[in-house]
A and B are shown apart, each in its own frame.
Chain A
Amino acid sequence: MSEVELQLCLALPTPNITKGFKFNLNNYHGFDHLKQMSCSGDKTSRVIKKRDFEHAFGNFSDDCNALPLLLWSGQPNEEDDNHNDRKKTTFVTDDMNDVEVDQVVGWPPIKSWRNRTCHHHHHHHHKRALGNGRSIYVKVKMEGVPIARKIDMRHYHSYQQLTNSLITMFTKNEKCDGDYNARYTLTYQDKEGDWLVAGDIPWHGFIRTVQRLKILSNWG
């Protein structure tokens, strides 16, 4: 199993923050990662309640395909054509279990009481977006990959279409060796904050409730 390295070098002369990030698929156990997440207490923990993961790993409902993603090549992900993204830098801590790896403590400098208000606004916006037919942007992360993507759920009409698109988005490697059909599971966070396996509910209900997506590795 070849080692995969993803190194992020940031154009800042601040050695404390900008550390190269190494990601080794060999050591990555998706399930353990989730267990660790649910134990970590505060807002970074995601507790999977509604569906047991061992059940989820082996079992897919009909309209949800496991994503046969290729090994990550180590090249930074190209964002969508958006000139704002061109200059984006992402900060990484060297804690691989950190769910929100693209955030720096205390930055941007917003007072914590205002954060609470902002969070509320974000959800409020979501609700309004559904009503006016505006875009519903959802963040997609692949486990172990620091750079997230965003997609507009309005562009998809089925789980199949969504997973096909995600495969395209997250694969870069032309050189695939025997392990390229490693299995991944698509999970999502619903309106109540729970993380569930995608594919259980009809598509129409899914897009009304989905807040974010996460692609988990089945290694282990």
Chain B
Amino acid sequence: MESSELKRSKDSVNSCESARRSSFPDEVLERVLSLLKSHRDRSSVSLVCKDWYNAERWSRTHVFIGNCYSVSPEIVARRFPRIRSVTLKGKPRFSDFNLVPENWGADIHAWLVVFAAKYPFLEELRLKRMAISDESLEFLAVSFPNFKALSLLSCDGFSTNGLAAIATHCKNLTELDIQENGIDDIGGSWLSCFPESFTTLEVLNFANLTSDINFDMLEKLVGRCKSMRVLKLNRSVSLEQLQRLLVNAPQLAELGTGLFSQELTIREYEELESALSNCKNMHTLSGLWDATGMYLPALYLACTHLTFLNLSYAALQSVELAKLLAHCPQLKRLWVLDSVEDKGLEAVGLNCPLLEELRVFPADPFDNEIVHGVTEAGFVAVSFGCPRLHYVLYFCRQMTNAAVATIVQNCPDFTHFRLCIMNPGQPDYLTNEPMDEAFGAVVKTCTKLQRLSVSGLLTDLTFEYIGRYAKNLETLSVAFAGRSDWGMQCVLGGCPKLRKLEIRDCPFGNAALLSGLEKYESMRSLWMSACNVTMNGCRLLAREMPRLNVEARGGMPHHLSLLSEMLGTRQTENY
């Protein structure tokens, strides 16, 4: 191939030695390495020797950039000439909770311009927390004739007009996945922009859009896209319409319903039940807005092979959930609202022995006065019934150290432990002590722990435990915790695999910040807001570590975001 010959002549001067050492021809090595999918494995491979570095870069087709400010698009394009698929993440995670100012950055456009020149055959773009305008979406739609998959998660800056451009121009589109975005939903006409001849769509997710779409157009689109396997509708689609879609798409593997509440005749109900149960491949079910006990039974037959059930839009009561779960023996992932209460979670423990992931969201997060929700009892009940549990996100209003100790004893394989006691700084409600021992138990017992979110009243002892025991921890989220710089110093001095640290409203100051200089070299990002860090501390850090992008905003509260491995610079007006 011409390109590899070119490459070899370029490298021949440099790689005489390595050519002697290397026992594989380049093409073979490239072929072997092309089978490597994990970007971490690829990074390791690229460090072996120059030959392997080159073989790796020529065989890589997907690039993952966890922090869009860590490298420039030009550098990426220079190193990896054959990319077909790009994943980019932008803003710090706390932007999801309105802690990052508007117009912070992470704009995709500069990347698209480079890609249009260097990767004209780009097929996939997956963005998380990036800013993307309608102009950029239009540019994307017309610049890449082979474009197949667009996934936007927690992005903002665009409207449904941008989606219309994608639908109009991307003739080979297989995936359009628009999730949880700050999208300006002007109307549902974008869906009608898919041409009549268009049949390739496999994934369509517009669940978080609010406008009505033209149902006739949707029905025709779903009817002619015979390979469609993922369909996630928005609220505007009724039960009756859902039934009509399903009879034409029984092959669906993932379904997100629309509104699950409507006056149905008996015949309509039976038709719905039948249409749902005919989806023999269905393993994921979501949507279910406003679902109540009345129509949930229509799902029962469809749930036999379900592995992921997302009920986080349906404020179910415990009895309703229990009845539903009796039909979901294969369930591995479950998302619910805390309206199901502890009794509902007991039912989870009883019915879902294969459960690996549980997320419990608060139905009324901002209303402390309404005392409902789940407590430590629910979590404990699940841990007894679901020994394979390894991912938990749990919002509650009370917790005890003893309960957490029991939970991790029952489920020692936690990889993701995200506990949110919603009242900041709340102690163990039985003993009135800090929650230090709870998280101590977590890090001591769960040796595979990768991600941890702590909450409740916590002293520096929690962070001593984390620094000492959490050997595999990569992501740590801390809020309203700790007593002094020592806490943060413990984490930065321990946790050998730490990549992302996000801290808000903690008494960690400059001494703590500056104790992590060595650590920041291997981290992706650090976020600190409303702590005791001063502008001078940030300046000192920036001076000590010129390769770091240190960004600080004055005023109350301080935002300090530290983006590591900076090879480019960020455009920012106020510094």
Binding partners A and B: yes
B-binding residues in A (CB < 8 A): 10-17, 82-91, 102-115, 117-118, 121-122, 124-125, 137, 139, 148-150
Q: Which residue of A lies closest to B502 (CB)?
A: A109
Query: Which of A82, A91, A117 lies in contact with B424, CB distance below 8 A?
Result: A91
Flag if A107 contacts B371 (CB, 8 Å): no
Q: Are A137 and B370 in contact (CB under 8 A)?
A: yes
The answer to whether B24 has its CB under 8 Å from any CB of chain A is: no
Q: How far is the CA of A169 from the CA of B368 in the complex (A)?
A: 18
**Assuming A103-B366, A108-B365, A118-B364, what are 8 further A-B pairs, CB within 8 angstroms?**
A13-B483, A14-B507, A109-B420, A110-B361, A112-B96, A112-B182, A114-B312, A150-B370
Please report which residues of chain B, range 409-464, place their CB below 8 angstroms from some CB of chain A when the two chains form the complex: 420, 422-427, 429, 457
Cβ contact within 8 Å between B363 and A118: yes
- Closest CB in chain B relative to A11 CB, distance in Å: 7
The one of B96, B313, B423, B429 in contact with A109, judged by C-beta atoms closer than 8 angstroms, is: B96
| Known contacts A16-B556, A125-B315, A139-B369; A105 and B364 CB within 8 A of each other | no
- Please give me the residue from chain A that is nearest to B207 by CB atom: A113
Q: List 16 A-B contacts (CB under 8 A).
A: A14-B530, A84-B398, A88-B368, A88-B426, A89-B425, A104-B505, A106-B94, A106-B98, A106-B504, A108-B422, A110-B97, A110-B362, A112-B96, A121-B364, A139-B369, A148-B369
> Which residues does chain A contribute within 8 Å of B180, judged by CB atoms?
111, 113
Q: Counting chain B CB atoms within 10 Å of each CB, which of A10, A83, A102, A121 scores highest?
A: A121
Instruction: State A83–B98 Cα separation when bound (angstroms).
Output: 32
Assembly CA distance A139 to B369 (angstroms):
7
A12 touches B96 (CB 8 A): no
Complex alpha-carbon distance, A149 and B397, angstroms: 17
Cβ of B395 within 8 Å of any chain A Cβ, yes or no, is: yes
What is the CB-to-nearest-CB distance from B376 to chain A, in angstroms, rounded to a whole number?
12
B311 CB, nearest partner CB in chain A, Å: 12
Number of A-B contacts (CB under 8 A): 126
Given contact pairs A105-B99, A148-B369, A122 touches B398 in the complex (Cβ within 8 A): no
Given contacts A87-B426, A88-B423, contact A102 B368 (CB under 8 A): yes
Determine the chain B residues whose CB is within 8 A of the CB of A103 once the complex forms.
366
Whether A87 pairs with B362 at a CB distance below 8 angstroms is no
Q: Are B362 and A108 in contact (CB under 8 A)?
A: yes
Q: Which residues of A contact B364 (CB under 8 A)?
A: 118, 121-122, 125
Q: A105's closest neighbor in chain B, by CB?
A: B98
Q: Is B336 an interface residue (CB 8 A)?
A: no
The reply to whether the CB of B367 lies closer than 8 angstroms to some CB of chain A is yes
B154 interface contact, C-beta 8 A: yes
Across the interface, which residues of B come within 8 angstroms of A90, CB to CB?
A: 368
Q: Is the CB of B97 within 8 A of A106?
A: yes
B195: interface (CB < 8 Å): no
Closest to A117 in B: B313
Partner of B371, one of A11, A82, A122: A82
Contact at A89–B369, with CB atoms within 8 Å? no
Residues of A within 8 A of B479 (CB): 107, 109
Instruction: Pick from A89, A104, A124: contact of B426, CB below 8 A.
Output: A89
Do B370 and A115 have beta carbons less than 8 Å apart? no
